[in-house]
């Protein structure tokens, strides 16, 4: 060990001068220091020679001991060194067992959604929406809820690697620095350097990149992600001559026409749009319900937006443009149209009747021409500035991302690129398959990839740097309306050595140690002229939004000349291929997230797989049944896929979803599904005719959580037309049942819940929120196939009417907390009892697992641990669990508890403060996540509470009420605002 004293006198100094408790702290410091990390990674023989010296042996053991203890996970949980600002209380008030909430933001596609993260004992365990953030207003989507699991994913990469060997930041920096010096010395500095990122909206990061590019004028910055907004931006260019961001004020719209726009999922503002749109759909006794909005959806494959619509038309994707042109013609713009459909005229009339209060939205995956037409139609309807707002693009640098990547590939092939730094993303997996990124990469001499997992792209790069998760990083980002959120970390990075993009860019500038906090902080200091910047900074961190950063409204006019706008060949006899992102894996980045893989996809209820969706008519024609295998061939690219018959699918459209078939996603995501990217090429990206579908031999088992899709004439989801409702405003849904027994009197609180079926869009946020809140285990594909999925709340999806154009209903079903619970009667050991507040309590410790309660439950909301499903071994998974909720073992029944842990917490707080629990103080996890505010929970003994008012509404009814279970969870019937001019058999109500 004499070497160590010579080589690293600082290390020696630290070791020798420390003593007692300080000693251990300094060891930690030493182990964490860069020099030591580098020392560790050098060859072993150096240490071996030191055994002879007894003193140095002791030193050796001290150092080795420290490193062994600290290898891998660094410390337990450590607050970041910099000051992070909690939402509610100061950090000094950290009380064990009480959560603290911090505001931050999650970006997807670059766009931010504000989050409030619940921190327990220094660990983030639950994501909630930030009520002050314009993009969410307190709601979250499935990705926000599942982000916790992504952070604690044991398959995350934990160390810097160099061609598969563990290396260190120091070594990486050395190599990079040398390379960048060479780059700077070129005649055109940086001409061999390329930077590839995904969409960046972060002002500070964009600024840092621009500063870097100033020093490297020959370098280029490319952006690419597969789910980019090229269509929208090109459409804006066509219509306005420049790219603009289009925002919709759905709460101001009386009529909405969606042209293949699943705006409730695939749109940067989707959470806000759900809230706004649904706010115009809440039908209540005593309110002016004639103001209810009307939604028309034209789409080729069913979406959740389509399910909520009043009128849905399954239409071949490539015909939607023609339809739009016909609408435009009806409104007198864009020339004449030869396309005819019985819906065109009524739609035109309805839109015209609501000028300035209507919206026409073009889908993200429809060609730019359709977007341009939609802009023109909105302009003609006077919606511009009222319900449709245009702003400058939110992305820091707007490029046509497909062209950007294409340019990069060309440069790579021509040998111009020597150094390529890829920040995040996975272009080897998700770029258009004809680009053949893997091949192009091989022409680059130094490839560097920063990402959270060692994925397909990292595999082909020389250097892989582990990326910090957004919950571990500083940053900033912009929401769909331009509002800036600061991203603050909830926890120091789990894996020492994880870096963020800031550090990579700084390294490219020759700085090896950066503090991202400082980068963001200093950037904003330079941007604001605030006198007291620190106060401004703290408030922005506290609130989760930077005030007054929303984009200004732009005044633009759409051109109305549609010459040359066509979607391609106008034949409709061949199959067309529809490629769409998956609701759960997005573009594939969430493939390793068990919560998302196991989450039943909204309309198919399939888990753990992607499929080829086909219409019932086409299936009959090709003699296909579910789980048959077909080969899909398009322009010399072919892929095999299992078939799923999708009611409501356009007749000759076949839909496949991206984000599957990955080989290097991790234990959970590997080899799940087939890789749809093989059919996703640069000239047939989203909707392409000329697909050949051939049945091949084989049977592919698929696991769904719902096997039966019709209500069988049973009175489960009640649905009325608005007309019917307005005619009989006082007719009650709910029938009173007589009983021999006097009703039990609940004194004190009586918890109840009302779920508005007119609000639920089926987005699944509540399901993942419940999983995150209640430590619900993931059971895997084969167990789901057996019928053993563990979700405490499920969303039932029913088709009604003709299977070619059905009405689609969504119904969230949590535990009904029945007052006359059939389950309580039959449990032999009293493991399920009724509390004095009306909850059906499930006592895990007492349950012996006879399953009689589940058999006797008519709603089938109880879930059983047939095996030990909970992972009790993986440390990072244990960190992410909610400590307020028991982790269940094998043989025990579980079910929704109305988030009893939250009820108890509120009761404790109220008793300490000697007051009653206020209405709205207790928010169940499902309620909190819901963007549509469909779930309302509260005290039904309080007649003024929101839930009591909803239960008094005449649309209120209980599911299976004739069984006299007296459920505390009731539903508000669905109402659809039908256009009397459009009546098809499929749209009839019962």
Partner 1 sequence: MSTEEYKAEEHPVIEPGYTFGSITEKISSIVLTKKTPLGWFIGFGIAFMLLMGLIFTIGLLLFVGVGIWGIMIPVGWGFDIINFVWWIGIGHAGTLISAILLLLRQEWRTSINRFAEAMTLFAVACAGLYPLLHMGRPWLAYWLFPYPNTMAIWPNFKSPLVWDVFAVSTYATVSAMFWFVGLIPDLATLRDRSTNRVGRIIYGMLAMGWRGSTKHWHRYETAYLLLAGLSTPLVVSVHTIVSFDFAVGIIPGWHATIFPPYFVAGAIYAGFAMVLTLAIPIRAVYGLQDFITMRHLQNMAKIMLATGLLVAYGYMMETFTAWYSGNEYEKFMIWNRMTGPYRNMYWALIFCNVLTPNLLWFPKIRNNTIFLFIISIIVSIGMWLERYVIIVVSLSRDFLPSSWGQYHGSPFDWTMFIGTIGLFLTLLFLFVRVLPMISIFEMRTLLPEAEVKHEGEAS
Cross-strand bridge partners of residue 643: 612
Q: Which residues contact 402 (CB under 8 A, 6 or more apart)?
A: 224, 228, 230, 432, 682, 685
Euclidean distance between CA atoms 365 and 232, whole angstroms? 9
Shortest CB 956 distance to partner 1, Å? 19
Q: How far is the CB of 154 from partner 1 (least distance, A)?
A: 23
- Nearer to partner 1 (CB atom), residue 720 or residue 862: 862
The minimum distance between CB 97 and partner 1, in angstroms, equals 25
Contacts of 946 (CB under 8 A, 6+ apart): 919, 920, 936, 938
Give the nearer residue to partner 1 in terms of CB position, either 166 or 829: 829
Closer to partner 1 by CB, 114 or 780: give it.
780
Minimum distance between the CB of residue 783 and partner 1, rounded to whole angstroms?
8
Report in angstroms how near the CB of residue 890 gets to partner 1 at its nearest. 5
Of 156, 692, 684, the C-alpha closest to 466 is 156
Note whether 332 and 681 are within 8 A (CB).
no
Q: Would you say 794 or 966 has its CB closer to partner 1?
A: 794
Residue 270 CB, nearest distance to partner 1 (Å)? Answer: 26
Give the pairing of strands 832-834 and 840-842.
antiparallel
Output 193 or 798, the one with its CB closest to partner 1: 798
CA distances from 103 to 115, 118, 486, 543, 549 (A): 6, 9, 8, 6, 17
- Least distance CB 972 / partner 1 (angstroms): 18
How many CA atoms lie less than 13 Å away from 366 in the CB half-sphere?
35
Select 277 or 608, whichever has its Cβ closest to partner 1.
Answer: 608
Give the residue with the Cβ less far from partner 1, 60 or 866: 866
Cα torsion angle, 834, 965, 976, 325, sign: positive
The widest CA-to-CA distance across the chain, in whole angstroms, is 97
What are the tokens at 242?
A: 């420049």
CB of 431 to partner 1, least distance (A): 39
Shortest Å distance, C-beta 803 to partner 1: 15
Closest distance of CB 898 from partner 1, Å: 20
CA distances from residue 471 to 97, 147, 197 in whole angstroms, order as listed: 20, 9, 20
Least Å distance, CB 788 to partner 1, is 5
Which 3 state secondary structure label does DSSP give 117? strand
CA-CA distances (angstroms) from residue 826 to 381, 818, 822, 851? 62, 14, 7, 9
Whose CA is closest to 702, among 778, 625, 631?
Answer: 625
Task: Determine contact, residues 164/464, Cβ cutoff 8 Å.
Answer: no
Query: Which residue carries 């603009």 as its tokens?
Result: 244
Q: Looking at beta carbons only, is 318 or 811 nearer to partner 1?
A: 811
Compute the distance between CA of residue 269 and CA of residue 462 in angstroms, rounded to an integer: 37
Nearer to partner 1, 64 or 825 (CB): 825
CB of 762 vs partner 1, minimal distance in Å: 13
Query: CB-wise, 325 or 601, nearer to partner 1?
Result: 601
For partner 1, the closer of residues 317 and 704 by Cβ is 704
Nearer to partner 1, 714 or 912 (CB): 714
CB nearer partner 1, residue 583 or residue 859: 859
Q: What's the closest the beta carbon of residue 769 comes to partner 1, in angstroms?
A: 20
Q: What is the DSSP string of 299-340?
A: ESS--HHHHH-SEEEE--GGGHHHHHHHHHHHTT-SS-----
Residue 366 beta carbon to partner 1: minimum distance, rounded to whole angstroms: 33
3-state helix, strand, coil in the chain (%, to 5): 30, 20, 50
Q: Which residues contact 115 (CB under 8 A, 6 or more apart)?
A: 103, 104, 105, 106, 127, 128, 129, 130, 133, 136, 140, 144, 147, 544
Chain positions contacting partner 1, by CB under 8 A: 706-714, 716, 783, 786-788, 794, 796-798, 811, 813, 822, 825-830, 846-852, 854-856, 858-860, 862-868, 890-893, 959-960, 963
Is the CB of 150 or the CB of 703 nearer to partner 1? Answer: 703
Nearer to partner 1, 552 or 740 (CB): 740
Rounded distance between C-alpha atoms, residue 129 and residue 927, angstroms: 11
Number of H helices, E strands in the chain: 33, 39
Shortest Å distance, C-beta 777 to partner 1: 12
Residue ranges of alpha helices (H) inside 830-885 are 852-856, 875-879
Sheet bearing 294-299, strands edge to edge: 311-314, 294-299, 255-259, 358-362
Distance of CA 173 to the CA centre of its chain: 34
Between residues 38 and 961, which has the closer beta carbon with respect to partner 1?
961
Tokens of 665: 């996603």
Report the alpha-carbon distance of residue 35 to residue 170 in Å, rounded. Answer: 8
CA distances to 594, 662, 663, 828 from 670, in Å: 11, 5, 5, 43
Extended beta strands in 853-980, E state: 863-864, 893-894, 935-939, 956-957, 969-972, 974-976
- Give min distance, CB of 122 to partner 1, in A: 34
In angstroms, the CA 146 to CA 668 distance is 14
Residue with tokens 């493939």: 591
């Amino acid at each position: 060990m004499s070497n160590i004293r010579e080589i690293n006198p600082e290390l020696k100094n630290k070791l020798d001068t420390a003593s007692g408790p300080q000693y251990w702290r300094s060891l930690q410091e030493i182990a964490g220091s860069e020099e030591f990390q580098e020392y560790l990674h050098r060859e072993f023989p150096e240490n071996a020679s030191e055994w002879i010296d007894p003193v140095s042996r002791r030193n050796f053991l001290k150092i080795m001991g420290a490193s062994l203890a600290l290898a891998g996970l660094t410390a337990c949980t450590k607050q970041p060194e910099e000051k992070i600002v909690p939402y509610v209380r100061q950090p000094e008030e950290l009380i064990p067992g009480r959560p603290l909430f911090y505001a931050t933001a999650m970006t997807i596609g670059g766009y931010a959604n504000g989050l409030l993260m619940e921190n327990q004992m220094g660990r983030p365990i639950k994501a909630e929406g930030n009520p002050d953030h314009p993009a969410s207003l307190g709601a979250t989507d499935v990705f926000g809820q599942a982000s916790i699991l992504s952070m604690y994913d044991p398959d995350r990469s934990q160390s810097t690697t160099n061609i598969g060997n563990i290396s260190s930041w120091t070594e990486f920096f050395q190599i990079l620095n040398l390379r960048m010096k060479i780059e700077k010395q070129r005649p055109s500095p940086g001409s061999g350097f390329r930077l590839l990122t995904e969409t960046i909206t972060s002002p500070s990061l964009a600024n840092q990149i621009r500063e870097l590019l100033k020093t490297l004028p020959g370098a280029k910055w490319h952006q690419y992600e597969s789910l980019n907004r090229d269509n929208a931006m090109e459409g804006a260019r066509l219509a306005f001559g420049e790219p603009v961001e289009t925002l919709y004020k759905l709460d101001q719209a009386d009529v909405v026409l969606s042209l293949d726009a699943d705006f409730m999922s695939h749109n940067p503002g989707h959470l806000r749009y759900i809230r706004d749109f649904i706010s115009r759909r809440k039908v209540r006794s005593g309110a002016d319900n004639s103001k209810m909005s009307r939604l028309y959806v034209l789409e080729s494959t069913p979406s959740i937006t389509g399910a909520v619509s009043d009128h849905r038309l399954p239409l071949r994707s490539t015909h939607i443009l023609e339809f739009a042109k016909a609408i435009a013609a009806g409104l007198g713009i864009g020339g004449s149209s030869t396309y005819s459909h019985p819906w065109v005229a009524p739609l035109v009339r309805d839109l015209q009747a609501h000028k300035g209060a209507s919206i026409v939205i073009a889908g993200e995956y429809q060609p730019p021409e359709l977007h341009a037409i939609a802009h023109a139609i909105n302009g003609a309807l006077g919606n511009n500035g009222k319900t449709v707002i245009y702003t400058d693009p939110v992305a820091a640098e707007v490029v046509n991302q497909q062209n950007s990547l294409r340019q990069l590939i060309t440069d790579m092939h021509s040998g111009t690129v020597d150094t390529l730094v890829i920040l995040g993303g996975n272009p080897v997996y998700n770029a258009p398959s004809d680009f053949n990124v893997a091949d192009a990469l091989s022409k680059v001499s130094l490839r560097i990839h920063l990402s959270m997992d060692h994925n397909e792209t990292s595999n082909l790069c020389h250097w892989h740097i582990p990326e910090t998760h957004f919950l571990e990083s500083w940053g900033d980002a912009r929401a769909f309306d331009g509002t800036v959120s600061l991203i603050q970390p909830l926890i120091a990075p789990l894996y020492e050595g994880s870096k963020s993009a800031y550090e990579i860019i700084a390294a490219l500038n020759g700085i090896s140690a950066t503090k991202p906090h400082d980068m963001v902080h200093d950037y904003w200091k330079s941007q604001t002229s605030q006198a007291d910047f620190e106060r401004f900074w703290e408030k922005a961190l506290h609130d989760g939004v930077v005030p007054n950063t929303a984009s200004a409204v732009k005044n633009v006019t759409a051109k109305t000349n549609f010459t040359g706008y066509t979607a391609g060949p106008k034949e409709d006899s061949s199959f067309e291929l529809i490629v769409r992102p998956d609701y759960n894996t997005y573009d594939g980045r969430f493939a390793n997230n068990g919560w998302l893989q196991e989450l039943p996809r909204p309309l198919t209820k399939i888990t753990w797989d992607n499929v080829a969706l086909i219409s019932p008519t086409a299936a009959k024609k090709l003699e296909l049944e579910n789980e048959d295998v077909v080969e899909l061939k398009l322009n010399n690219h072919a892929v095999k896929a299992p078939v799923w018959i999708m009611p409501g699918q356009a007749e000759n459209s076949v839909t496949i979803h991206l984000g599957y078939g990955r080989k290097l996603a991790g234990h959970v995501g590997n080899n799940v599904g087939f890789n749809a990217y093989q059919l996703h090429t640069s000239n047939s990206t989203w909707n392409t005719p000329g697909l050949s579908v051939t049945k091949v031999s084989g049977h592919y088992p698929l696991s769904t959580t719902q096997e039966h899709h019709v209500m069988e004439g049973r009175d489960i989801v009640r649905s009325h037309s608005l007309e019917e409702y307005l005619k009989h405003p006082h007719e009650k849904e709910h029938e009173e049942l007589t009983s021999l027994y006097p009703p039990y009197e609940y004194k004190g609180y009586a918890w109840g819940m009302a779920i508005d079926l007119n609000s639920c869009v089926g987005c699944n946020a509540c399901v993942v929120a419940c999983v995150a809140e209640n430590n619900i285990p993931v059971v895997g594909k084969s167990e789901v196939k057996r019928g053993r999925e563990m979700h405490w709340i499920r969303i039932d999806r029913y088709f009604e009417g003709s299977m070619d154009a059905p009405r689609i209903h969504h119904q969230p079903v949590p535990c009904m907390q029945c007052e006359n619970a059939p389950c309580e009667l039959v449990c032999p050991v009293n493991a399920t009892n009724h509390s004095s507040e009306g909850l059906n309590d499930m006592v895990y410790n007492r349950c012996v697992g006879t399953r009689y309660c589940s058999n006797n439950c008519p709603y089938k909301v109880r879930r059983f641990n047939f095996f030990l499903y909970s992972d009790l071994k993986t440390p990072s998974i244990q960190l992410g669990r909610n400590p307020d909720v028991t982790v269940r073992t094998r043989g025990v029944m579980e079910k929704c508890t109305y988030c009893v842990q939250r009820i108890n917490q509120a009761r404790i707080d109220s008793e300490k403060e000697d007051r009653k629990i206020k209405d709205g103080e207790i928010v169940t996890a499902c309620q909190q996540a819901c963007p549509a505010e469909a779930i309302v929970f509260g005290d039904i003994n309080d007649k003024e509470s929101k839930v009591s008012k909803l239960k008094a509404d005449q649309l209120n009814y209980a599911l299976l009420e004739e069984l006299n279970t007296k459920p505390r969870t009731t539903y508000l019937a669905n109402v659809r605002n039908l256009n009397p001019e459009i009546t098809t058999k499929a749209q009839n109500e019962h």
